[in-house]
Structure 1
Amino acid sequence: MESEGKKRETRNRIALTGAAAVATVAVTCAIAALSAHIRNRRRKVPSGSSVRINMSSSEILRLADHIIAKSKEVHDKVAAVPLDKVSYANTILPLAELEAHQFPLLQSCAFPKLVSVSEDIRKASMEAERRIDAHFSACSKREDVYRVIKAFAARGDGLSSEVKRFAQYLVQDFERNGMSLTSSKREELERLRAQIDELSMRYIRNLNDDSKFLLLRDEELLGLPTEFLKSLEKADNAKFKILLRSHQISPILELCKVGSTRKSVAMAYGKRCEVNLSVLEKLVQLRHKLARLLGYMNYADYAIDHRMANSSAKVFEFLEKISGSLTDLASKELSLLMEMKRKEGGEIQFGSEDMPYYVKRIKEQQLDLDFGLLKHYFPINLVLSGIFKICQDLFGLRFDEILDAEVWHQDVKLFSVFDLGTCELMGHFYLDLYTREGKYGHTCVVALQNGSWINNIRQIPVALLISQLQKEVDGSPGLLRFSEVVNLFHEFGHVVQHICNRARFARFSGLRLDSDFVEIPSLLLENWCYESDSLKLISGFYQDITKPIDDEMCRSLKRWRFSFSALKLKQEILYCLFDQIIHSTENVDMVGLFKHLHSKVMLGLPMLDGLNPASCFPNAAIGFEATCYSRLWSEVFAVDLFATKFRDDIFNQNTGMHFRNKVLAAGAAKDPLEILSDFLGREPSIQAFLESRAHSI
């Protein structure tokens, strides 16, 4: 075996060789970047992007009509192929090329509704999206196209796995739209879908239109900060008007020192929209009918089929296992909360409405964390440069700003992404970070152009990250709350995921991934917001950015992350189980079910009398019906990835590049369970997640 001295000598020689190689690559990249910059100065648009910026209202609508006409032309050609003559060239390739070429044009029509300062343009964008959606909905029900694709998929021989997967996805989309049914059953399916859509929107509309409020006196809101009280409207009798909206309810449940106020607020909030109970019951009945029409036992099996979880039975097993494993820790947490309330309020029974308040109190006692002070360490530009640095070191990427690019607002920035080793242009992304009127209100990533590789032509990805952060004002830098830092890192993870995707077809590229899988990479990257070495890269006191947060603050943040998390997770699992049960079982008593689950999952903690969570649970009504488990599912496997591969060396580029090449590059071209198993060397497990919570008190 080599001596330790010999090993050190070898490592030093490798390091020196590596440094020389990096220097050579740096010169090459600098020349490439200069050439690219000169080209960009001439055209002011990112190279390889088909995304159109700053179109007028009429141009948006004309482009939408062009997209529809071209799509119809291609679908008509595919439909005309004789079933005994189907081939990749006349069936799959035209549709794959159409999607790759038209996606950035479609997004050019759609994304202005999120970012434009012009109301006319936002309206045109919404109208264009409506027209395009209606056309593609009609395309998904074309029996003539379905027959041709089905004939191709049935051949199977001599096809690559990715082409087979693409064809199978096309067939699956048609069949989930009823193309394998008789015409009468197809008509019934359409009627059911229309009824489901109408009821779903009614449920949400009822919630949005609910204008009920509470009137509370000043002394009933003891503990609420002055800034919060100033934001409240006052009634004629000088009482504060509390709207039954989460942005006003959550601070009261967390901060109000008056137990009776917390109880009355929780009661009013949990009784909203009682009319929605019957709406949800009818919705669930119709969903089960739809699922049975398509050959499934129940709606949950329909919703979960072709997702990573695969079946409702597997979801139940997952939720029950997580819940059971958390019981001992949650019991300890509950005992501590009850003891604190006893010390403060005698023998008044501890209720679920007390949880947010006492969890916050105990965490404040156990952890010396001042989030107001912490904010001073996260100037926006410093956080962003730290995120770039981490992703550069971990995934071998370089981010270059295109300084004079065409954008839709002066605050928007455009960046090119290059491979750090080869200088290959990998993609582009826009950052639209700052708040302004008319802009979409949440932080998110929009895929503007998906990557693809068709007929030896590479189309590079283009992404857009939207946020509503406060800009620098009067020389004071824009500062981020820690939750905003985590959120920004999470969403930038989606940008990296989008850029690093190397799938052949646009269908498998961008963020068009299995919904149980798409959040895993971004949830994985959130871990870098809690590790000392990476925290110091993204932090610096706003008056002297050379001073990052100290080690004790880093440790406190890491402890705070999972402190008293078992009860909160139990509460999340309660809602996931409720969602899964109503969508996998017929004729459920929703009120009785929730009471039963609450007692079982929440360790006997009583639910407030008269509450009706089913009437104000929008995730079960629209968007996440039968799939509320998915966020927890993604989080569990993200923890496994971090603990197994990254925790011991968070800047190991070998591991980062392995993740980039094995997980991010694959996109949806491979089964997600296969992708994760290939990266981990085994099937993903829940064990690391449970261990991460084991010492969270």
Structure 2
Amino acid sequence: MSTTTTTKPYPAPPATPPSWEYTPEQVTKSADDCIASSDELLTEVAALPKEQRTFENVIRRMGLHEVEVDSLAEPALFLQYVSQDEGIRNASVDSDKKLQEYGLKVLAREDIYEALLDAEAHTKANGVKLNAEEQRLMDRMIRDRKRNGLGLEKTKRDELLALQTKIMGLEVDFQRACNEEKGSLLFTEEELVGVPQASIDGYTKEDDNQYADLPETRRRAVLGYEGKTIQNVPVLDEVVKLRRKVADLLGFDTFADYVLDVKMAKDSKTVLAFLDDLLDKLKPVGEAERKKFLALKKEVHESHGWPVDDEFNLWDYRYYDRLWTERELALDDEKVKEYFPVDKVVPTILDIYRQLLSVQFYRIPVESGGGTWHKDVEAYAVWDHKDGKDGKFLGFMYLDLFPRENKYGHAAVWGLIPGWTKESGARSYPTVCMVANLAKSTPKRPALMKHGDVVTFFHEMGHAFHGLCSATQFGRFHGTHVARDFVEAPSQMLENWCWLPEQLKSMSEHYETHEHLPDDIIASIVKSKSVNQGLFNLRQLFFGLFDMTVHTSKEDQDLTKLWCDLREKTSLVTTKGEYIGGQSGFAHIVGGYAAGYYGYLYSLVFAADMFESVFRADPMSPQLGYKYRDCILRPGGSRDEIDSLVELLGREPNNEAFLKQLLSGAEVDAKL
């Protein structure tokens, strides 16, 4: 599949893309070389006499060296998610563990901490003028080490390091179990009544529970999925216990407070108040939706002669949500999917980004370094294209879009290499990679996408362009290296384009008739954005509340019981007393979102405000798109995120647009 959006000759960029020619030994060597190089630099920094420790030879030197060695290692570490070679994947996982453990040791070095403090003191005493990003770099380097125990007595520092090292190893093991899970369930054709033949032909986990008519089939499928990585239950138990000890050593009330100290929300009280307030507002909406779904369930059960009950089961939610949408909005996911062939959607979405953000893409020829880790992967060079002319080179982008065995199973973007300004003043350019698992073609029809898949793809591309359009001085602050409770906001804001009639028309084309989506279906899709949002967002609230409950508790808990009971209380669905440890597949909780899952909803406040205030009136304005690039994407994490928002909005952000979007669904629903 080609997603090229220009037929112009390939312009050679001022850099070469990464090489993907790796063996397991080379993966291991990349990590070992990074450690050796870092050790050499840190030894030199620690040996500097106290009076010679300055911003330039301590702070800047360490900041630049850190990103240089990380840029050498990250592509090799990324291969654990995408390589078909088991030896390479294993070497990548082992190298990841090794480098994470080494990173903890670096942060625990008291001699380096003292060198940083001396450099800070020298800077202040001599009136050295730093720009805002340089000051931020110095502050963050020192803060990182305080958060890792420096300033504590040595016995506590050693204990902290041991705890963090053990946690990191367990997190890698947990993630690997999720990545490499290969469980399956066997069903007869009779048990799959209602499941579209196309889904059976190209079966995926995601398609299993929302179509099957037989409740028992859905129950088995959903509970089987819940328990697919059940071996992770004791792993997460241990991780939570160890995190609690980390917080205690560092003087924080809870692990959540330790994590949130460096985020926009700042503390657990703020987050819990946000989640509880949202729960109060959404629960009546969700209860009304549950009531209408139960009425539909009663109708379906009576029509089949099945027993009728008043239980809204976990395996009922997606089925009746889909059925209700099909009936009330005349919106059939399978029919809509026929208008979204991958070969049409992907290049159109890239073209929307091209127009909105004033960028241009060029497919990289193999002879120019366009080799990849798999034949299905596409490599691009991306340029600024303001006013219709190619300007500055922005970076490299890889698209790895189709499923295969042992590949990362969801959709995500890796900022493999950040951009930064070298000591010489020359620019080092970023590399981003989007990994997805779009449907593959079958003998009967091409690869097709549900509208939800289109939204996910558009969202992830937002992360990719955050990395490509950022232009910070230091790699540490590049692109998505922002506070975790803001990182989703830019991509969430961009999802709105998938609900705009003009864009839906442009990215759709029936795979047989080549017609765009009809206006009546587009109108139904747009309406569907607002309906049934109560239960959907209560599900998100459940994940956030589970995460915060786990990380604010001071005692051991039965996490399986907590997972099931809290889901029933918050999401309004039941498993009829069956306790299966679904938290064992909650990869976010070990993948950087510990005490941070609330951020998906928290950042929606900013996303809604940005779209309604800036783009609603003229969504495809290149002038507004460039302003958004300049205010939000360009600075990355080089300044406080609130400052970027204020620059774009012209005021402090508020939650008015967010609440209006969430609560409008009940009004739309009442009219249907």
- Bucket of the pairwise TM-score, normalised by the shorter protein: 0.7 to 0.9
- 186, 190, 202: which one pairs with 2:161? 190
1:527-562 per-position Cα deviation (integer Å, ceiling 9, x unaligned): 1111111122222233465x3222222222122233
Structure-2 separation of matches of 1:282 and 1:660:
42
1:451 and 2:419 are equivalent in the alignment: yes
The corresponding residue for 1:349 is: 310
Equivalent residue letter for 1:68: I
Superposition RMSD in Å: 3.7
Change (3 A) 1:65 1:573: closer
Q: Which moved more, 1:618-627 or 1:547-556?
A: 618-627
CA contact (8 A) 2:226 2:585 kept: no
Change (3 A) 1:601 1:388: closer
Structure-1 separation of matches of 2:24 and 2:564:
52
- 620, 641, 648: which one pairs with 1:672? 641
The corresponding residue for 1:297 is: 253
1:5-404 correspondence to structure 2 within 5 Å: 37=11, 40=12, 46-49=13-16, 51-154=18-121, 155-156=123-124, 157=127, 158-197=129-168, 222-225=193-196, 247=205, 251-252=208-209, 254-259=210-215, 283-345=239-301, 348-353=309-314, 354-403=316-365, 404=367
CA contact (8 A) 1:256 1:262 kept: yes
Structure-2 separation of matches of 1:145 and 1:564:
54
CA contact (8 A) 2:421 2:473 kept: yes
Structure-2 separation of matches of 1:303 and 1:71:
27
- 428, 431, 435: which one pairs with 2:396? 428
CA contact (8 A) 2:479 2:637 kept: no
1:34-57 per-position Cα deviation (integer Å, ceiling 9, x unaligned): 6x73xx4xxxxx532463332455
Shift of 1:88: 1.7
Structure-1 separation of matches of 2:342 and 2:179:
33
1:531 and 2:493 are equivalent in the alignment: no
Change (3 A) 1:543 1:400: same
Shift of 1:107: 2.6
Q: Which moved more, 1:649-658 or 1:167-176?
A: 167-176
- 622, 626, 649: which one pairs with 1:653? 622
Change (3 A) 1:579 1:127: closer
1:115-151 per-position Cα deviation (integer Å, ceiling 9, x unaligned): 4455554455445545544443332222211111123
How many positions carry a matched residue from both structures?
642
Structure-1 separation of matches of 2:571 and 2:133:
45
Structure-2 separation of matches of 1:275 and 1:129:
21
Structure-1 separation of matches of 2:182 and 2:408:
23
Q: Secondary structure at the match of 1:429?
A: strand
Shift of 1:424: 1.7
The corresponding residue for 1:498 is: 467
Structure-1 separation of matches of 2:252 and 2:664:
42
Change (3 A) 1:659 1:588: same
1:405 and 2:392 are equivalent in the alignment: no
Percent identity between matched residues is: 29
Change (3 A) 1:616 1:429: closer
Structure-1 separation of matches of 2:574 and 2:80:
45
Q: Which moved more, 1:193-202 or 1:79-88?
A: 193-202
1:216-275 per-position Cα deviation (integer Å, ceiling 9, x unaligned): 88766654445667899xxxxxxxxxxxxx938x734x3344446656776777688999
Change (3 A) 1:420 1:204: closer
Equivalent residue letter for 1:609: G
1:64-89 per-position Cα deviation (integer Å, ceiling 9, x unaligned): 44333322222122212233332121
Equivalent residue letter for 2:311: F
Structure-2 separation of matches of 1:401 and 1:50:
12
Q: Secondary structure at the match of 1:657?
A: helix
Q: Secondary structure at the match of 1:399?
A: strand
1:574 and 2:542 are equivalent in the alignment: yes
TM-score normalised to structure 2 length: 0.84
TM-score normalised to structure 1 length: 0.81
Structure-2 separation of matches of 1:434 and 1:220:
28
Structure-1 separation of matches of 2:349 and 2:108:
44
Shift of 1:414: 2.8
Q: Secondary structure at the match of 2:105?
A: helix
The corresponding residue for 1:611 is: 579
- 482, 487, 506: which one pairs with 2:451? 482
- 650, 657, 660: which one pairs with 1:691? 660
Gaps of 5+ in 2: 1-5, 303-307
Equivalent residue letter for 2:317: M
Shift of 1:184: 0.6
CA contact (8 A) 1:81 1:90 kept: no
Change (3 A) 1:491 1:217: closer
Structure-1 separation of matches of 2:590 and 2:426:
39
1:497-528 per-position Cα deviation (integer Å, ceiling 9, x unaligned): 11110111011114322222222212221211
Structure-2 separation of matches of 1:264 and 1:339:
23
Change (3 A) 1:58 1:200: closer
Q: Secondary structure at the match of 2:152?
A: coil
Equivalent residue letter for 1:367: L
Structure-2 separation of matches of 1:51 and 1:416:
12
Q: Secondary structure at the match of 1:684?
A: coil
1:499-518 correspondence to structure 2 within 5 Å: 499-518=468-487
Structure-2 separation of matches of 1:114 and 1:189:
29
Q: Which moved more, 1:108-117 or 1:483-492?
A: 108-117
Change (3 A) 1:607 1:544: closer
Change (3 A) 1:111 1:205: closer
1:86-124 per-position Cα deviation (integer Å, ceiling 9, x unaligned): 212111121122134333322343344444455554455
Equivalent residue letter for 1:189: L
Q: Secondary structure at the match of 2:368?
A: coil
CA contact (8 A) 1:203 1:621 kept: no
Equivalent residue letter for 1:319: L
* Higher radius of gyration, 1 or 2: 1
CA contact (8 A) 2:228 2:585 kept: no
Structure-2 separation of matches of 1:264 and 1:443:
25
Equivalent residue letter for 2:71: P
Change (3 A) 1:385 1:59: same
Structure-2 separation of matches of 1:59 and 1:202:
22
Equivalent residue letter for 2:105: A
Equivalent residue letter for 2:602: W
Structure-1 separation of matches of 2:183 and 2:476:
45
Shift of 1:187: 2.0
1:202-221 per-position Cα deviation (integer Å, ceiling 9, x unaligned): 87799999999988887666
Equivalent residue letter for 1:650: P
Shift of 1:496: 1.2
Structure-2 separation of matches of 1:562 and 1:498:
30
